[in-house]
Amino acid sequence: MTKNIGKYILAGLIIIFVLVFLFKIYIVVDPGEKAVIFNKATGSLRVTPNEGFYFLVPLVEEPTVYDMKTRTYTMSIAQLEGEIKGDDSLQALTSDGQTVLLDISVRYHPDRDNLDKLHRTLGIDFVNKVVRPQVRSAVRMIVSEYPVLDVYSGKRMQIQEEINKDLGKSFKQNHITLEEVLLRNVQFSREFQQAIENKQIAQQEAQRMKYVLEKQELEKKRKIIEAEGEAESLRLKGRVLAENPALVQYEYVKLLAPNIQAIIADQNAIFNFSDFIKSQKK
């Protein structure tokens, strides 16, 4: 009798071992996760409310575990930064026909209140079915409404907000919650980048030529003022000579003795040149 009991216990343990390890009669849901359990017999779904240990009906119930934490999907030109290795930047055309390369990061998580609907309509591969294609579509559509310089700097934040708004609606329809979209980097095509560099060089050259012309104009004005001064000086000297012919003698003597201030015009007169010039200027 004791031997039979021992056999029954051993058989029971074997059965339990088979059920537990071969037929998977339980599932452990870790923190930050939820499991959708599909009943093959009834076609119904049930979602585990919290993390923990859950029993399953062997061969009937099939679990699928979802990570409910916020995740980031990145499309980047950097070789090892995005979900797809290599250049995975998003190409888009602006309203003025220029190609831009965009680095995009999308933060999202499954809708916690509609996980059963997400599982039924999209399944575990919802990132490739919805997240990636809808991000690419929304970004291209919105970028196409702006000229290239607005995308690069002027209205970058506004574009990012529009992408957030548009994707938030489409994600919600597919039972995905969008946290935020980050427009991380914008690059031009090589041709447009070269055109910008050429334009900058042309602008710098134009500024240099403007400076040269302004300098020449100032020099021209300086020479005019200088010439006018010389002409006025000659006019005054001519007037003095007309009124005082003896001044010619003074100019001659001045060449011989530069510091002379007056001359004797005749036996009865002394002519002071400096005083005369001062009186004429007044």
DSSP character at residue 91:
E
Same domain, 203 and 243: yes
How many distinct structural domains can be found in the chain? 3
Q: What is the largest CA-CA distance in the chain?
A: 173
Mean per-residue pLDDT for 121-129?
94
Domain end among 24, 47, 66: 66
Please tell me the predicted confidence (pLDDT) of residue 275.
56
**pLDDT greater than 60 at residue 208:** yes
Residues 176 and 76 in one domain: yes
Give CA–CA dist 252/261, Å, rounded: 13
On whether both 76 and 179 belong to a single domain, the answer is yes
Could you list the residue range(s) of the whole structural domain that residue 53 is in? 2-66
Q: Do both 48 and 109 map to the same domain?
A: no
Ordered DSSP codes for 126-187: HIIIIIHHHHHHHHHHHHTTS-HHIIIIITHHHHHHHHHHHHHHHHHHTTEEEEEEEEEEEE
227-245: per-residue pLDDT in tens?
777 777 767 766 766 766 6
- pLDDT tens digits, residue range 55-114? 888 889 999 999 999 999 999 887 667 677 767 888 899 998 888 889 999 999 999 999
Residue 281 reports pLDDT greater than 60: no
The answer on 202 and 171 residing in a single domain is: no
The number of residues making up the chain comes to 282
Q: Residues 184, 99: one domain?
A: yes
Note whether 203 and 156 are same-domain residues: no
Q: Is 26 or 110 the better-scoring residue by pLDDT?
A: 110
Q: pTM for the whole thing? A: 0.62
Selected residue with higher pLDDT from 276 and 74: 74
pLDDT of residue 234: 67
Confidence grade of residue 23 (pLDDT, cut at 50, 70, 90): low
Instruction: Kindly state whether residues 162 and 107 are assigned to the same domain.
Output: yes
Tell me, what CATH number does 141's domain have? Answer: 3.30.479.30
pLDDT tier for residue 170 given thresholds of 50, 70 and 90: very high
Domain end position, chosen among 66, 82, 112 = 66
Q: What is the pLDDT of residue 37?
A: 95
**Judgement on whether residues 145 and 173 belong to the same structural domain of the protein:** yes
Residues 158 and 120 in one domain: yes
- State whether residue 22 is helix, strand or coil: coil
- Under DSSP, the state recorded for 112 is T
Q: Which of 46, 66, 86 is the last residue of a domain?
A: 66
Same domain for 174 and 207?
no
Burial of 229 by CB count in 10 Å (0-12 exposed, 13-18 middle, 19+ buried)? exposed
| Statement: residue 173 has pLDDT above 90 | yes
77 and 53 both lie in a single domain: no
Which pLDDT does position 261 carry in this prediction? 54
